[in-house]
Amino acid sequence: MKCAEVVVAGGGIAGRLLAWRLLRGGRRVLLVDRDPAGGASAAWVAAAMLAPASEAVTSGPEVLAPGLAALEQWRQWLAELAADAGRVVPAGFTGSLVVAHPADRAELSWFAERLARIAGGEELAQSLDRAGLADLEPELGRFDGGLWLPREGWLDNRALFAALAEAIAVHGGQWLAAEVRAVFPGRVETDRGPLSCALAVDCRGFGAKGDWPALRGVRGEVARVRAPEVALSRPVRLLHPRYQLYVAPRPDRHYVIGATELESESLAGVTVRSALELLSALYSLHPGFGEAEILELAAHCRPAFADHLPRVAAEPGLLRANGLYRHGYLLGPALVESALAALAERPPAPPVRREEAPQLESVR
């Protein structure tokens, strides 16, 4: 049986961040994931928008304050990562845009009204006319206006995954490529045998469902394209009565288009209908996407609790952190802070809830 001080099960956004913070705090950490590159995690598939205002509109006001704080946290973390790993993670902090086609203009006023109500006097959005929109994103010429949410942004999640892996290695963290089967106090069961440790940390996202029955998967589908004819520097959200679609920029005119949201735990590939929805919305945003190259169509399940807010659970020898839902990057900082707080017997950071460790079906 291998021994480590801390074993983190799951190398997605939560596991990676938490391992890095624990290492920086002087702990010795072993990370276990069947794909150490992170390719098996929902956060790898994600578009990694940092959109506290728009997510507060669609998901609830609880995410606003922690989301705004997360943007500051990310700026700081990205600077620390650049120092640790020698890698600059591409990111943008110049806001996002919200637009709607003329037929759906009512959605735009609905969105602005809802946001104003949530913001309670704080100015989180500015209405733009055609000229104002063109100033910010000259290529969105087919829209006669929109909203600018200056306190939003994005980051390049795959570059972040690589930088975190590098930083973890720099701090002496170890990786084990193995499939985690279950996580117990002081023990992580894998397909390559059990691992014993002083502290087992369960960050498996949807993969932890077997050990935390209140979790459910909410399927999301995402497209990645390379569009040499399109130059957008900010994330753009396209409002529609039935779909929530956004395009997040990446370096080299790559774009991530997300995301469907289906009450399904299917991990099967992207359906034709979802691809049509995503891609037709994309094409309607800018005709230059017509000749874009489709690099990837991917589906995953976001880990969610019934209230769609993250939770930590701690008991001696065991810490679980999960339920980031569609907010891996927006609420990841709050979840990490709450997990570290739980280890120090301090209360969690809102909106994260702490609960007693879920009862395992068979404690061996």
Residues near other proteins (CB under 8 A): 58-60, 114, 117, 216-217, 219, 241-242, 262-266, 268, 271, 273, 304, 306-309
Q: Which is nearer to other proteins, 306 or 344 (CB)?
A: 306
Q: What minimum distance in Å lies between the beta carbon of 93 and other proteins?
A: 26
In the complex, minimum distance from the CB of residue 222 to other proteins, in angstroms, rounded to a whole number:
16
Provide, rounded to whole angstroms, the least separation between the CB of residue 357 and other proteins.
Answer: 20
Q: Which is nearer to other proteins, 10 or 303 (CB)?
A: 303
Give the integer Cα–Cα distance in Å for 310 and 218: 14
- Smallest separation, CB 109 to other proteins (Å): 13
Nearest distance in Å: CB 264, other proteins: 4
Q: Which residues pair with 216 in a beta bridge?
A: 304
Q: Which residue has the tokens 């950490």?
A: 29
**C-beta of 268 vs 344, nearer to other proteins:** 268
Q: Is 209 exposed, middle or buried (0-12, 13-18, 19+ CB in 10 A)?
A: middle
User: Facing residues of 301 across strands?
Assistant: 219
Q: Which residues lie below 8 Å from residue 23, measured CB to CB, with a gap of 6+?
A: 29, 167, 168, 171, 172, 173
Give the closest residue to 51 by CA, choosing from 146, 116, 148: 148
* Closest CB to other proteins among residues 81, 335: 335
Euclidean distance between the first and the last CA atom of the chain, given in angstroms as a whole number: 16
- Give CA–CA dist 256/302, Å, rounded: 17
To other proteins, the closest distance from the beta carbon of 307 in angstroms equals 4
Q: How far apart are CA 158 and CA 89, in angstroms?
A: 9
- The 3-class secondary structure across 66-79, one letter per residue, is HHHHHHHHHHHHHH
Residue closer to other proteins, measured from CB, 107 or 179: 107
**Shortest Cβ 364–other proteins spacing (Å):** 25
Q: In this complex, which beta carbon is closest to other proteins, that of residue 45 or of residue 159? A: 45
Which C-beta is closer to other proteins: that of 256 or that of 309?
309
Neighbours of 350 (CB within 10 A): 15
Radius of gyration of the chain (CA): 20
Pick 117 or 192: Cβ nearer other proteins = 117
Q: Do 163 and 108 meet the contact criterion of CB atoms below 8 Å apart? A: no
- Partners of 256 in beta bridges: 224, 248
In angstroms, give the least distance from the CB of 299 to other proteins: 10
CA gap 206, 216 in Å, rounded: 7
